[in-house]
Amino acid sequence: MSQSLPLAKRIIPCLDVKNGSVVKGTNFESLKFAGDPVELAKKYCKEGADELLFLDIAASQEKRSARTKLVRRIAKELDIPFTIGGGISSVSDARTVLSNGADKVSINTGAVKNPALVSELAEIFGNQCVVVAIDAKRNSIPTSGFTVCTYGGKTDAGLDAVEWAKKVERMGAGEILLTSIDRDGTKLGFDLELTRAIVSETSIPVIASGGCGKISDFVGILKGRDSADAALAASIFHYDGVTVNQVKKWLRKERIRVRI
């Protein structure tokens, strides 16, 4: 029997949106302007991004859903899948976003507050449309050493990150978007310990996020045992002049399968 090739690893630029602009901070704080979301989306699409992620980072704190006008603007310009997150707390919120052109929805605070929402979304829209975002940081209390945070990383939910990941998989999540709050915006590299802890205990794709500062960081998170299925980054693409295509060529040299 022939052995099937491993799935190609994905590179996903992240666009954190607040008040209509893309912003980026450090440890979820000290936000600074990065550009127009639609123009950046078009740029990354041309560079070879596999997908894009848009997070309306103020939506949960402001207790509203993601902005539908922005979703429509993005959908008109892109021919690659994109995910929308931020403030999605009901089936109705998800339906609005998906019906306006998004391919997937990302839920974090909504899932923690109402875990049954994960199953509801999976049953109605399909597992492939449901991304559960886990914002985690180091904490000595949970068994794994990582705790889940909500409301843009501002509230400790008191959940063990690994146990929560296992639960959302059982409930029908199609993917996990795993962000290290400790590494977010620091450019110190992805949190390998956190990522491996989640990947080793789950079987659905895990997107690693938080801390990418140089091209070689992508290699570390996407190569080897218990590696992530995709890497998400922001600052390196927004500010550092690194292109998605450059990252993929580097990964090819490291014998990591990617689409070019």
Q: What is the CATH number of the domain that holds 96?
A: 3.20.20.70
Instruction: Give tens-digit pLDDT for 179-211.
Output: 999 999 899 999 999 999 999 999 999 999 999
Domain extent, residue 143, equals: 10-253
Residues of the chain with pLDDT under 50: 1-3, 64
Assess if residue 258 is contained within a domain.
Answer: no
- What the block records as the tokens of 247 is 């990252």
Antiparallel, parallel or unpaired: β 29-35 and 130-138? unpaired
Assess if residue 259 is contained within a domain.
Answer: no
- What the block records as the tokens of 47 is 């560079």
Assess if residue 1 is contained within a domain.
Answer: no
Q: What is the pLDDT of residue 27?
A: 61
Q: Is 103 left (phi over 0), alpha (psi -120 to 50) or beta?
A: alpha
Collapse the DSSP code of 145 into the 3-class scheme (helix H, G, I; strand E, B; otherwise coil) and give the result: coil
Assess if residue 230 is contained within a domain.
Answer: yes
Collapse the DSSP code of 21 into the 3-class scheme (helix H, G, I; strand E, B; otherwise coil) and give the result: strand
Assess if residue 260 is contained within a domain.
Answer: no
Strand partners, 55: 16, 85
Residues forming the active site: 16, 135
CA–CA dist 131, 246 (Å, integer): 27
Q: What is the pLDDT of residue 32?
A: 64
Strand partners, 191: none
Asked if residue 162 lies in contact with residue 197, where contact means CB atoms within 8 angstroms, the answer is yes
Q: What is the pLDDT of residue 18?
A: 81
Type of residue found at 76:
K
**Which among 242, 247, 232, 241 has a CA at the least distance from the CA of 16?**
232
Assess if residue 4 is contained within a domain.
Answer: no
Q: What is the pLDDT of residue 142?
A: 79
Domain count, the chain: 1
Q: What is the pLDDT of residue 2?
A: 41
Assess if residue 26 is contained within a domain.
Answer: yes
Assess if residue 173 is contained within a domain.
Answer: yes
